[in-house]
Amino acid sequence: MNMWVESLGIIAAVLDLSMSLPQTLKIWRNKNAEGVSLFTWVTLYTTFAAWAIYGWQNQIAATLGFIIAAALVGILLLPTIFRAKKHSWFITILTIAGIPIILIPLILYAPAIIVTIFLLSLTFNRIPQVMKSYKTYKNTKYSNVSLFSWSLGLAANLFWLIYGVFRADINLILIPLMPILYDSAILTFQLIGNRKYKDSQKENPSA
């Protein structure tokens, strides 16, 4: 495979592995996870871990990026969200450790069609965040969601789509399509919602 084609996957992986950092910093700095979907980030962690295993199995150059992305979400972001939402450390550790244990045999030994269906099902992981972001817009609520994080996610999926086309890998073509739509929706709702919230605070500072 041409190096420039593989470089597309590497760029996408770098964007993916960077995605969780702005959200981690924002929650840590503001000491709250208001508007942030824990379920979405748990399933994103599952997605990165699953693709790390799939990438290793299929010799995808960007596999290391998936591993780092999963590690950053699992080690930094998820504990930060769990703590902000006041969940126990037992639940936190069980979630972070249990997911890879389940994924390894599934990805490595299940029939290819099952793996494809499973990876496709993970593309719906952003729906809870889309709904939370919609509520931010609809109800003029405060939200601590990082726009930078979701911008990185959108860019990553655009690169994965292009990379999949050049590799003629059906999974790499199909998987990014829904996340591109979801990330666009999250960014749109958050941008408009944040603007509405700021305007409401100017009109009624005591609210």
For 27-53, the pLDDT digits (tens) are 999 989 999 999 999 999 998 899 889
**For residues 4 and 58, what is the distance between their CA atoms, to the nearest angstrom?**
18
Model pTM? 0.85
The answer on pLDDT for 204 being more than 80 is no
Print burial letters for 163-195: b (CB count within 10 Å at least 16), e (below 16). bbebbebebbbebbebbbebbebbbebbeebbe
Rg (CA), the chain: 18
Q: What is the pLDDT of residues 80-133, one digit of tens each?
A: 999 999 898 999 999 999 999 999 999 999 898 888 888 888 888 899 999 999
Nearest residue to 25 via CA among 155, 148, 205, 183: 148
pLDDT confidence of 2, banded at 50, 70, 90? confident
Q: Is the pLDDT of residue 167 over 80?
A: yes
Q: How far is CA 74 from CA 17, 21, 24, 104, 119, in A?
A: 11, 11, 11, 16, 19
Q: Where are the domains of the chain?
A: 3-195
